[in-house]
Amino acid sequence: MTIACPQCGWKFRHQVKWICDECRKPFYTFDHHGVCPACGHVHEVTICPRCRVFSMHEHWYRDDDDDKTWGERILRIPKSKKKKKRSQDNPQP
What digits encode the pLDDT tens for the residues 17-52?
Answer: 999 999 999 999 999 999 999 999 999 999 999 999
Residue 84 lies in a domain: no
Domain count, the chain: 1
What digits encode the pLDDT tens for the residues 58-87?
Answer: 999 987 766 555 555 444 444 544 444 444
Residue 11 lies in a domain: yes
The Cβ-side half-sphere exposure at 72, using a 13 Å CA radius, reads 15
Domain with 34, as residue range(s), is 1-78
Among candidate residues 40, 72, 74, the one with its CA nearest the CA of residue 55 = 72
For strand 2-3 and strand 26-27, is the pairing parallel, antiparallel, or unpaired? unpaired
